[in-house]
Structure 1
């Protein structure tokens, strides 16, 4: 082993300490010995692997893999690498679980996430993934066609102008000025821009530009833009329930000048909580100082559910995704064509809109 590979950075090491393989079956040329003088350069480049998937995805994978690990430990099975038959048995156990909140079985999407986590950690450790075994694939294909399973999959209903007006009236009943300003900005911006909750949470003050007749919001990254390509949303001030004045009021009231746009508030809703953002996901994982003072996607989800409940809208049918769905549906009701709608929401395939567009009244 070369001096360099003896000092691989943490991002190249799996949970069980195995070093990720840099070569496979000797397909790549390998120096006999690498000089220690390039160690810092190597570490600098290797540290970029922390961004190959998002922090939230990595956190979800870790949770799912922990569930698989506990199952293997319970039955005396090897976790990493795992036998494909262990994975099949795990699927059998998981598919019969009942969600205590909904009384339904776990959805296929949840099970797919479990397998994606197993695959991710096997590849990270340099192992062939057992999830790619033909028998595992056959089980999942059969699961997706099994109509006898009772799952809680449902489409969140779109929030349109009528529902949006109810939500804003409910927010206006708030006594706290900061809470009222922030939550109206979240609701109106989420609706007009067709943002996902994770996108709303990631918007920075520097991403927002107030022009003469529109609000321009830069989206640094999104589900369909993982590479950080330039992406803007132009939100006209003339549209009903335009977010322009609501966002401007929130910035005026909060006096936020930089960092995340949407912040956490004190319990009484009268002040901002202390704000800190780690320089990288690794710094956050290291626990030097936790990210604090700004809203996450789950926080926005809970805020929207809260106001839906207060406004008399079923929180089981309406959620954060209802804003994005409502944006698409309302623009369709307003006779906007598919290209215009895709430009607003960031969809890259017009076929994706079929899931959102509802028949006009």
Structure 2
């Protein structure tokens, strides 16, 4: 690959690149469109998929098409008033509530970790190397993902040489690229050493069991227990987590995704009186709106607040009448 192409490829996150490539294939191959496209063709593409794709998905497809036209030096048809108006009409006629991953509660994390510990102990006793090393990895992945509020793509990009352990205190993790790092300066995260459910101890156990000294932290493991040189892809995290939740007996396992770890931590921190500024700094959110999307209200139906008011001692009727009665004019 020529040097300039390598640098151009590095300028776009891998997940974004794959998403854009998929969108272009859908437009050209599945729908039969031609590139470069006209504004009318883009509008027809949106209209044809208005009922089958969400508005957010259509916006993502438009972003991919816009990027293709811009990089190829063609006028961007997605920015025309005609296309924008069609998208606005689709949003009006096909409203849909945003789907969010179910947050993993601390009690469920404890249940899952206890189950993993049992599997690890049983595998050691039976000499089952594959099951042992797989669940040691899974425990590190779940605990680090929860306590650091990492996305699946962040977990997949962790590298051993960018992680430092400070015994008794915690670990420092450096990611050269993160979603909010527009300047490409890299981001440093810290995870604490805990008395239980410890992400640092789980990570150290995985490194010791795997014998890894450099490269990706989380990798795939084949049926014979061989650890791959390749990273565990971000797209593998959702089926992996759901399979773990299902086997461990966590209710409704298919309602969880990799974002469940991030949302679970955010809700745990919020319920334990972390202020929003502290939470944003810890997780790495730059925008308040992004942070609030991950936090559920402690009393979403306002039931507790209203019931508290209803059960308060009512004002005596005589006092209510006295307040309501008009004052008599002085003689």
Give the TM-score normalised by the residue count of structure 1: 0.74
Match of 1:142 among 74, 89, 110: 89
Match of 1:122 among 63, 69, 76: 69
Instruction: Summarize the Cα distance change of 1:230–1:52 in structure 2 as closer, same or farther, 3 Å threshold.
Output: closer
Residue 303 of structure 1: how far off its partner (Å): 1.2
Within 2, Cα distance between the matches of 1:234 and 1:313?
31
Partner of 1:15: none
Partner of 1:358: 296
Partner of 2:245: 308
Residue 64 of structure 1: how far off its partner (Å): 1.0
SS where residue 180 of structure 2 aligns?
coil
The structure where helix makes up a greater share of residues is 2
Within 2, Cα distance between the matches of 1:113 and 1:133?
16
Instruction: Summarize the Cα distance change of 1:265–1:131 in structure 2 as closer, same or farther, 3 Å threshold.
Output: same
Instruction: Summarize the Cα distance change of 1:322–1:72 in structure 2 as closer, same or farther, 3 Å threshold.
Output: closer
Contact 1:265 1:271 in 2 (8 A): yes
Q: Deviations over 1:83-134 (max 9, x none)?
A: 111111111111233xxxxxxxx21111111111111111121100111110
Within 1, Cα distance between the matches of 2:237 and 2:68?
30
Q: Deviations over 1:190-235 (max 9, x none)?
A: 0000000000000000121111311211122111114332422221
Contact 2:108 2:250 in 1 (8 A): no
Give the ranges of 4+ consecutive aligned residues of structure 1 lying more than 4 Å apart after TM superposition: 43-47
Residue 181 of structure 1: how far off its partner (Å): 0.6
Partner of 1:233: 189
Contact 2:113 2:197 in 1 (8 A): no
User: Structure 2: 5+ residue runs without aligned partners?
Assistant: 124-130, 300-331
- Structure 1 or 2, whichever has the larger Rg, is 2
Contact 1:219 1:230 in 2 (8 A): yes
Instruction: Summarize the Cα distance change of 1:309–1:153 in structure 2 as closer, same or farther, 3 Å threshold.
Output: farther
Moved more, 253-262 or 324-333: 324-333
SS where residue 154 of structure 1 aligns?
coil
Matches within 5 A, 1:192-211: 192-211=147-166
Partner of 1:57: 16
Q: Deviations over 1:305-331 (max 9, x none)?
A: 111222233233211101001111111
Q: Deviations over 1:261-320 (max 9, x none)?
A: 01111214x2313x1xxxxxxxxxxxxxxxxx3201111222111112222332332111
Moved more, 168-177 or 341-350: 168-177
Within 2, Cα distance between the matches of 1:173 and 1:264?
21
Aligned residues: 287
Give the TM-score normalised by the residue count of structure 2: 0.81
Within 1, Cα distance between the matches of 2:184 and 2:178?
8
**Structure 2 residue 122 is the aligned partner of structure 1 residue 169:** no
**Structure 2 residue 144 is the aligned partner of structure 1 residue 189:** yes
Residue 360 of structure 1: how far off its partner (Å): 3.1
Alpha-carbon RMSD: 2.1
Contact 1:107 1:153 in 2 (8 A): no
Matches within 5 A, 1:11-22: none
SS where residue 264 of structure 1 aligns?
strand
**Structure 2 residue 101 is the aligned partner of structure 1 residue 156:** yes
Within 2, Cα distance between the matches of 1:189 and 1:205?
14
Partner of 1:253: 209
